Chains A and B, each alone.
Chain A
Amino acid sequence: MTCSCSDVERLLPELLDGSPEDATVETRLAASKLDAHLKSCPACSDLLSDLKLIASEARQLAATEDPAPRVWVRIAAELRAEGLIREPAPMRPIIVPTSPGRRWTSVAWWLAPVAAVLLAAGSYVVSHKPAPQVAKKQAPETAPAAQTPATSPAPVVTATSSSSGHASAPEQLAQKSAPPARLAAPAAESEPSAPDSSTEDQQFLSAVSTLAPSMRASYENQLQAVNADIRETQAYVNQNPGDVDARQHLMDAYQQKALLYQIALDRIQ
């Protein structure tokens, strides 16, 4: 006696998920009858194949998505606030003696000031009407910090590094105490522009190239995405200067990019 299509419907869950050890005598008998039916019924055979395919493909969906970098930032902040992290925040020296194992420091220190500039630029576009033609003229002023290290140290790290003793040479101390020329007057008379992304992004990519391949790819993707967001939103804001939501979105995008730089700095250190 063979089974019918409705028997297949009833037995399919057991066939797909039941382990052979758990199978009852009835199920085993039914399974053998079922085999005969499947050979003669293309519809039931196709159904079984499709459901097996869906179940197997679903496994490929596990662990495929990366959370945004901000998730770790928020977790770390909460852990600190709750006292679960019981060590001081890591020092961020501006100038670290170069050694073979720490070559990255000479590449990465510029990330903090760049992040600050991005935030300043983001703040500016939210609070001022855009003037793209002026912004283009100002682009050289935000040349990469790495090209002028002596005059633009990272203000956010100067206080900690000056007391940390990482830089002992007099000229290094002098560099640290020098005012951050570019950042000291971020909203001068002329309009500040977003950093020259092509150059600074190259430096960012160069800095993260020291990381593990998966981590590097993640940073590259994030940078690509946030740049695309900034471009699109900037274009929209230029056409719709009165759109407050769009300006806020643009600010968020700049903040996201600044955060990305900051996270990269933390990770590389």
Chain B
Amino acid sequence: MTDPKKGITEREAIEQAQQGREAAFETLYHLHKRRVYSLCLRMVSNPAQAEDLAQEAFLQLFRKIGTFRGESAFSTWLHRMTVNVVLMQLRKKGLPVVSLEETLEADNEAPRKEFGTKDVRLTGSVDRLQLQRAIDRLPPGYKTVFVLHDVEGFEHNEIAQMVGCSIGNSKSQLHKARLKLRDYLKFMRAEKAKTG
């Protein structure tokens, strides 16, 4: 990964940041700011909070950059740190990182799937903005797992470790999140068709 403006690689930037060079810190920030901020924004659905969390994630990373030896990918290190910062914040606010209730809840609480009946399909496309709005509406427990798995690409075993749940729990929450999203998206599509 190379900063297109400064023409230095991520590796060089890390080495220079370890020596305390501001430009190197800035290069690393610009290389990863989108991914980090987007992750925070998806998880908390609040731009101001997301900025604070992204700031905290980068600060934690930069404070520990002297210990980075390159055994793992820098981006992996940063994104795990970001997730931990966000999860810590959610826990502080008393929001469920992963909800036991949601996992054990009766099917009547889960989205209705209407198996065996004719259903409206999403017809092969999903508007990005609508999908984002639908994600924002997810309960926190569902949202965490969905964002980490489907948006950020973490595996269930990694999610289970990060949020402190079982792999089965992570899979279950993801499945329910997708079903809820499907319902939300269909609802939004129907509303849009009515109004316009």
Contact = CB atoms under 8 A, between A and B. Distances in A.
Interface of A: 5-6, 8-9, 12-13, 16-17, 41-44, 46-47, 49-51, 53-55, 57-68, 70-72, 74-76, 78-80, 82, 84-87, 89-90, 211-212, 214-215
Q: How big is the B interface, by class?
A: 35 or more
Contacts, number: 154
16 contacts: A54-B122, A54-B126, A54-B150, A58-B151, A59-B150, A59-B151, A61-B38, A62-B39, A62-B153, A64-B34, A64-B128, A66-B34, A67-B50, A74-B55, A85-B25, A87-B21
Given A17-B156, A71-B51, A58 B37 contact: no
A50 B21 contact: no
A49 B121 contact: yes
A214 B30 CA distance: 11
A25 to B, nearest CB: 19
B44 interface: no
A84 B62 contact: yes
Closest 6 CB pairs of A and B: A86-B20, A5-B115, A58-B150, A67-B37, A63-B35, A63-B34
Nearest to B116: A5
A2 to B, nearest CB: 13
Given A51-B182, A76-B22, A87-B20, A71 B115 contact: no
Nearest to B114: A43
A245 B113 CA distance: 48
A77 B128 CA distance: 35
Contacts of B58: 75
A78 B151 contact: no
Contacts of A74: 55
B55 to A, nearest CB: 5
A8 B115 contact: yes
B34 A6 contact: no
Nearest to A52: B178
B20 A85 contact: yes
B63 interface: yes
Given A51-B182, A58-B151, A67 B33 contact: yes
B152 interface: yes
A86 B21 CA distance: 6
